[in-house]
Amino acid sequence: MSTIVRMRGLLASSIGVTCAAALTLPLTLPTAAHAAKPAAQESAVPGTTQSLPLTPLATPGDSTRSAAPQQQRQEQGLPRRDVRPFSLVGVVWDNPNAQLHGQVQVRTRTTGTSTWSTWQDVETHSDDAPDPDTAEHTSSTVRGATAPLWVGDSDGVEVRVKAEAPPAGSRAADPGAEPLPRGLRLELVDPGAEPAAGAEADSPRATISAETAAASAVNADLAPLGAAAIPALTKKETEDELISARGGDADATKARPYVGPRPRIITRKGWGADEKLRERQFGYTKTVKAAFVHHSASGNNYRCSQAPSVIRSIYRYHVKSSGWRDIGYNFLVDKCGNIYEGRAGGVTKPVMGAHTLGFNTNSTGIAVLGTFGSSNPPAAAVNAIARLTAWKLGLYGANPRGTTYLKSGGGNLYKKGKNVRLKVISGHRDGFATECPGRRLYKKLGTARSSSARLQGR
């Protein structure tokens, strides 16, 4: 009976509202095996963000003094300069509803060298975002933003932003409209040091902060408090837990649920989240009817050992630069197929994300670290999508090969209030007019759907 109650607490959600961290603790204490282990020692990985205002750049043959004001605003940037160390870049602006119609390029210098990169394009889309009219979207802290770009350890930067003609009929095409959004700033993110290796959960002096404890406690029935990873389960173990969660007797139930084996998931503690950055409360939606697959558009120039640093950088960029309450994605996957917990609130629960503008309600968002417009996604990453969705969607009875209906919260593809039929595993572009998750990754979603359904036993 205690298992039933525990799993009910695990899957319980605070429907359609945000709730305090204290209210999201499990309804029962963790199992004895878990409770016997104290939390792991917490290590500081603070990171930093440098925010530098962009200024008008002179066009060839002109100086900023002689150029007309409108001409000056066509191109802004930052001349080559030395800066404090950073590893990820992005550009933000004041109005989150304004679009940057143009080209953003950066080049960087590797730390401690005189070697500069070639010019690299930064994706200008800003459609990974909270839903319109939500408290997160309408917050005074929210800003428009490009996708972040991972550049590795750097200590020099140069950036240029050049306006292009906006689409006909858009507000930006109106006479007198600004060619570029106001308040352009370059954000340089240092992810901070890696979490201390060897911090064991059974350390007699182990301590963690209240914020880290809260983020870990919502997964306390899956792993010890402060654990760096949630262990994988077999298919039978996963089925038994789900049957118990639904009030059944796992030993007596002949009809097994369609759910894939729980994969290993690296927790926020495992990738070194600074829990003091995010809002303290967790936000939930009602259920999980669909999974939207994204690419982070942060580039493919990272090693799998660097993935935690990439995630910490994206987290800081989403919170400190874009003004969101937490990292936008519910889960992240690296090129080696490792799966990471994203937005805090519990990996089994219907956590409200900020990943698919207009369709964050009743969905989950999975971002593959990388850019997959012209590059093929690694097979390990596609397989990880299948394993994760087979389990997560199975908890809520969703068929990975099926379709479902979601109500649009408003976007550039579907107007607010429209009931949209979508595949249960969809690409970001299915709910919003965007290149995400990249042409090559989008083509692999059929494979992911078939594999996910097979893992569920369908």
The residue out of 190, 224, 243 marking a domain boundary is 190
**Conformation bin of residue 47: beta by default, left when phi > 0, alpha when psi is -120 to 50:** left
Closest CA to 122 of 374, 369, 296, 294: 296
Shared domain for 253 and 358, answered yes or no, is: yes
Closest Cα partner for 373 from 288, 300, 447? 300
Looking at the fold, whether 183 and 232 belong to one and the same domain comes out as no
Report the distance separating Cα 366 and Cα 383, nearest Å.
Answer: 13
Q: Strand pairing partners for 422? A: 404
What CA–CA distance (Å, rounded) separates 230 from 204? 21
DSSP string, 276-302: TSS-SSEEB-S---EEEEEE--S-S--
Q: Are 231 and 182 part of one and the same domain?
A: no
Do the domain assignments include residue 11?
A: no
The Cα–Cα gap between 354 and 416 comes to 17
Q: Provide the residue type at 367 as one letter.
A: A
Q: In 3-state terms, what secondary structure has residue 247? A: coil
Beta bridge partners of 363: 290
- Total domains in the fold of the chain: 2
Nearest-angstrom CA–CA distance, 75 and 73 = 5
Q: How far is the C-alpha of 298 from the C-alpha of 309, rounded, in Å?
A: 12
What range defines the domain where residue 98 resides? Answer: 48-57+71-166+178-190
**Which residue, chain included where needed, has tokens 């503008």?**
357
Please tell me the predicted confidence (pLDDT) of residue 150.
97
Per-residue pLDDT of the chain (458 residues; tens, 9 = 90+): 444 444 444 444 433 334 433 333 333 333 333 433 444 445 556 799 999 999 999 765 555 455 555 555 689 999 999 999 999 999 999 999 899 999 999 999 999 999 999 999 999 976 677 777 778 777 888 999 999 999 999 999 999 999 997 665 555 545 556 889 999 999 999 999 887 654 444 443 457 889 999 999 999 999 999 999 999 999 999 999 999 988 888 777 778 899 999 999 999 999 999 999 999 999 999 999 999 999 999 999 999 999 999 999 999 999 999 999 999 999 999 999 999 999 999 999 999 999 998 999 999 999 999 999 999 999 999 999 999 999 999 999 999 999 999 999 988 889 999 999 999 999 999 999 899 999 999 999 999 999 999 999 99
Under a CB-based contact definition with an 8 Å cutoff, are residues 428 and 353 in contact? Answer: no
Is residue 214 domain-resident?
yes
- Quick one: 184 and 247 in the same domain? no
Is the domain of 314 the same as that of 357? yes
The CATH code of the domain that includes 278 is 3.40.80.10
Query: Is residue 14 included in any domain, yes or no?
Result: no
128 belongs to a structural domain: yes
Cα separation, 228 vs 244, whole angstroms: 26
- Is residue 245 located within the same domain as residue 315? yes
Residue 450: φ, ψ to 5°? -65, -45
Same domain, 224 and 297: yes
CA–CA separation, 428 and 290 (whole Å): 11
Same domain, 362 and 255: yes
What's the 3-state SS for 60-76? CCCCCCCCCHHHHCCEE
- Residue 369 within any structural domain of the chain: yes
Q: Are residues 290 and 378 in the same domain?
A: yes
443 and 402 within one domain? yes
Contacts for 246 with CB less than 8 Å, ≥ 6 apart: 257
Helix axes of 379-395 and 235-245: crossing angle, nearest 10 degrees: 30
The residue whose two tokens read 């109106």 is 174
What CATH number should be reported for the domain holding residue 160?
2.60.120
The rounded Cα 369 to chain-centroid distance in angstroms is 9
Per the domain annotation, does 237 fall within a domain? yes
Same domain for 245 and 293?
A: yes
Tokens for 330, please give them.
Answer: 């519910």
Q: Classify strands 102-110 and 120-122 as parallel, antiparallel or unpaired.
A: antiparallel
Is 406 part of a structural domain of the chain? yes
Residue 66 in any domain: the answer is no
